[in-house]
């Protein structure tokens, strides 16, 4: 029977095993873990997984949760029409 894996990020399918592996590789802050594992980059944009990741890292690293700053949000510099991503109205 395979061991039960706990999901940290449902959108991207990131497990506690993935987080532990990234920690072993030297990733220690939320920003670098987000880039490495894509935590918070799914449809929920981190609303659920970032708090779970902070809680898990706090226990795993032995630091208070308030010391683990959430990753920065990077919205587009200017709004982009969705049609540009869909290829609608392309002239070519």
pLDDT by residue (tens digit) across 4-45? Answer: 578 999 999 999 999 999 999 999 888 899 999 999 888 888
The domain at 7-71 falls in which architecture? Orthogonal Bundle (1.10)
Phi-psi region of 59 (alpha: psi -120 to 50; beta: other; left: phi over 0): alpha
Phi-psi region of 9 (alpha: psi -120 to 50; beta: other; left: phi over 0): beta
The Cα 22–Cα 85 span in angstroms is 32
Phi/psi at 84 (nearest 5 deg)?
-65, -30
Grade residue 46 by pLDDT with cuts at 50, 70 and 90.
confident
3-state SS, residue 15: strand
Grade residue 81 by pLDDT with cuts at 50, 70 and 90.
confident
Q: pTM for this one?
A: 0.71
Task: Give the model's pLDDT for residue 22.
Answer: 97
| Integer angstrom CA distances of residue 40 from 37, 88, 91 | 9, 28, 35
Mean pLDDT, the chain, rounded, equals: 84
């Amino acid at each position: 029977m395979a061991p039960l894996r706990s999901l940290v990020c449902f959108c991207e399918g990131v497990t506690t095993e993935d987080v532990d592996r990234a920690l072993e590789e030297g990733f220690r802050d939320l920003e670098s873990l987000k880039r490495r594992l894509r935590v918070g980059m799914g449809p929920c944009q981190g609303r659920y997984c970032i708090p779970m990741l902070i809680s898990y890292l706090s226990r795993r690293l032995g630091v208070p949760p308030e010391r683990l700053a959430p990753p920065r949000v990077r919205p587009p510099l200017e709004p982009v029409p969705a049609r540009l991503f869909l290829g609608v109205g392309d002239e070519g």
